[in-house]
Amino acid sequence: MSEKTLAIIKPDAIKKKAAGKIFQRIEEEGFEISGLKMLHLSKEEAKEFYVVHNEKPFYESLTDFMSSGKIIVMILEKENAIANWREVMGVTDPALAAPGTIRHQFGFSIERNVVHGSDSLATAEWEINYFYKNNG
């Protein structure tokens, strides 16, 4: 059964011109891209999206970063999409991410780690709805 996850190519990847290579990897891994758009989050939109982290010490710097430039937001689909995308991304810290993962290849730091992915079915549903309410 196909599953959906939200994926984001973050501002650092856009600035590094790594988006094309990330898209290529997504296709090579067998994901179907069923939603795609580029946008620039305001600070308030970034705060809304990352509200789950609002009491963590990195919240302000994370939302500053995520509102610092354009992002690409995608809905990825395939069987076990959430777990598979998280495996392809690698762990949050690029220095600890396995060789061959997107974060290991393109990431700079825990915060500037080039991609985002939903961590559960409930989160995926909420995140997809955040960016694609009314199929927009």
* pLDDT recorded at residue 133: 86
**Catalytic: which of 40, 53, 104, 116?**
116
* pLDDT recorded at residue 111: 87
104 is a catalytic site residue: no
What architecture is domain 2-131? 2-Layer Sandwich (3.30)
The amino acid at 42 = S
* pLDDT recorded at residue 135: 52
Buried b (16+ CB within 10 A) or exposed e, 60-76: eebbebbbbeebbbbbb
- The ranges of the chain with pLDDT < 70 are 134-136
Per-residue pLDDT tens over the stretch 96-123: 999 999 999 999 999 899 999 999 999 9
What's the whole-model pTM score?
0.94
